[in-house]
Amino acid sequence: MSKPKQISVRAAGCRYTLVCGAGVSGQAHRWLQELGPATGRFILTSPRVWRAVGPALSRGLRLRKGQPVIFMKDGEVAKTLQTVESLCRALSRAGADRQALLVAVGGGVVGDVAGFVAASYLRGVKLVHVPTTLVAQVDSSIGGKTGVNLPEGKNLVGAFYPPRQVLIDPLLLRTLPPREFRGGLAEVIKYGVIADKALFAYLEANIERILARDARALSHVITRSAAIKARVVSRDERESGLREILNYGHTFGHALESATAYRRFQHGEAVAWGMMAAALLGHEARITPAQDAARIIALVRRLHPLPAWPAVHPAHLLRAMGRDKKTRGGNLRFVLSPALGQARTYDAIPLPLVERVLRHAPHLMEPPAKIHA
C-alpha cells in the first residue's frame, strides 16, 4: 500500500484529518488509535453495506467477537427523526457513554444520520466516517453537515458537527453498484465546474477509465475532490458564503428528489440533472459562456443512463425550490458558473427564465445537446 495522503480540515475549535489511500480501511484500528482512548467503538451501518465490507472492515477495526453493530436502512426515506431516535436508543441500550466513539460506515444517508446522532446523543460523542460510496468519499463525509429530511424538504433538520477523522479508501468502492458509482461521479464533476478547470479537463479526457474504475485515475479524482471540499469548508464551515458554491446543481437536484418523494433518484443522479439544468440556466442568464455550458452538459451526459426527468409541472418544482436552504426572503438563489473552475451564488434570476429551463430540462439527455450562443 502506498503512503496515504493526509488532508487537514479546519472546523470550529478543532481540526480533523482526511486519510486518503487504497487500503486505509484495512488499517482502521491504527488510525483510530491516533484519536486517543475511547470507552467503546460503536459501528453504525446498514445491512447492505455491512454484507459488502463488514468482514474486511471488522479485521481492520479489530472488532471483538460478539461486539454489537447497530444497523439502519440506507435509503433516503430513512433520513427521519424517527430513525435518529431509534439509533440513540440503540446506543443507550448498548451502554455508549460520553467517551464513546461512533464509527459511521456507509454512504451519504448513513453518514448524515450518524452525524446527527453523534451530535445529539449525550450532547455529542466522537465521530469517525468510513465512507463506502463515491458521493460520501468526495463530498458528504467532509465538512460536518449532518441532518435528516422532513416531508417539506431535504435536510431541513440537522446540525454542523465535525467528525474527528475520515478514512477514505477507494478499495471500498469495488463492490459499489454501477448506478451508485455513476451518481457519485456527478459530485466529482461538480468540483471541476466550481473550483478546478484542470480537474474538469482531466475528467473529459479520462471519464471512461474512471467509469471502468481504473485505480490510478480513480484515486487521483477522489483525492483531488476531497482536497477541494476540505479547502472550501475550512474557509466557510457554516455555509455563510463560499461554501454555497458546493451546492452547484443542488437547487434543481433537491427539488427533483423532493418532488419524487426521494424514490426515483439517488442523490448523485438528481445532482447530475441539476448540474445540466444549472448550466442551461447560467447560459440563459448570460452568466455561463455557451461553450462552458455545452461542455458541462456533454460531460454529465457521459454518465448515462440516468432516471428520466419526472413528469412534474414546473410550478411544483418551483415550490420545492422555494423550500431550499439557500432561499432568502422568498427569493430563489442559484449557484452558477461564470467560467469553468469558478462559481458564485446569484439571487436575481428572473422566474420566467427558471420556468423556461424547467420546461426544456427533460430533454437535456437527448442527443445532440447543442447550445447556441
Annotation marks residue 34 as catalytic: no
pLDDT digits 0-9 by tens, 256-281: 998 998 889 988 999 999 999 999 99
The SS3 call for residue 344 is strand
**Catalytic residue, candidates 129, 182, 224, 254:** 254
Annotation marks residue 254 as catalytic: yes
| Model pTM score | 0.89
Query: Which domains, and CATH codes, for the chain?
Result: 5-173 (3.40.50.1970), 178-209+236-363 (1.20.1090.10)
**Catalytic residue, candidates 64, 65, 123, 216:** 123
Full pLDDT tens readout for the chain, 373 residues: 578 999 999 988 789 999 999 999 999 999 999 999 999 999 999 999 999 999 999 999 999 887 889 999 988 889 999 999 999 999 999 999 999 999 999 999 999 999 999 999 999 999 999 999 999 999 999 999 999 998 877 788 999 999 999 999 999 999 899 999 999 999 999 999 999 999 999 999 999 999 999 999 999 999 999 999 999 999 887 777 788 999 999 999 999 998 998 889 988 999 999 999 999 999 999 999 999 999 999 999 999 899 999 999 999 999 988 877 666 666 889 999 999 999 999 988 999 999 999 999 999 987 654 555 4
**Catalytic residue, candidates 145, 164, 190, 295:** 145
The SS3 call for residue 314 is helix
User: Which residue from 249, 247, 323, 235 is spatially nearest to 279, judged by alpha carbons?
Assistant: 249
By DSSP bridging, strand 5-11 and strand 14-20 are antiparallel
| Amino acid at site 315 | A
**Catalytic residue, candidates 5, 213, 239, 356:** 239
**Catalytic residue, candidates 164, 250, 326, 333:** 250
Residue 165 CA, chain-centre distance (Å), reads 17
- Please report the pLDDT score of residue 154 as a whole number: 78
Annotation marks residue 323 as catalytic: no
Annotation marks residue 123 as catalytic: yes
- Please report the pLDDT score of residue 329 as a whole number: 62
**Catalytic residue, candidates 267, 283, 295, 326:** 267
Annotation marks residue 366 as catalytic: no
**Catalytic residue, candidates 187, 244, 269, 284:** 187
Annotation marks residue 313 as catalytic: no
- Please report the pLDDT score of residue 372 as a whole number: 52
pLDDT digits 0-9 by tens, 145-192: 999 998 877 788 999 999 999 999 999 999 899 999 999 999 999 999
- Please report the pLDDT score of residue 330 as a whole number: 67
The torsion region of residue 38 among left (phi > 0), alpha (psi -120 to 50) and beta comes to beta
Tell me the percentage of the chain whose pLDDT exceeds 70.
96
Contacts of 331 (CB under 8 A, 6+ apart): 347, 348
- Dig out the grid coordinates for 98 from the structure: 460520553
Residue 3 CA, chain-centre distance (Å), reads 25
User: Which residue from 336, 339, 229 is spatially nearest to 275, judged by alpha carbons?
Assistant: 336
- Please report the pLDDT score of residue 373 as a whole number: 46
Asked whether 336 and 288 are in contact (CB, 8 A), the reply is yes
Annotation marks residue 187 as catalytic: yes
**Catalytic residue, candidates 126, 129, 190, 243:** 243
**Catalytic residue, candidates 79, 229, 326, 333:** 229
- Dig out the grid coordinates for 9 from the structure: 480540515
Annotation marks residue 145 as catalytic: yes
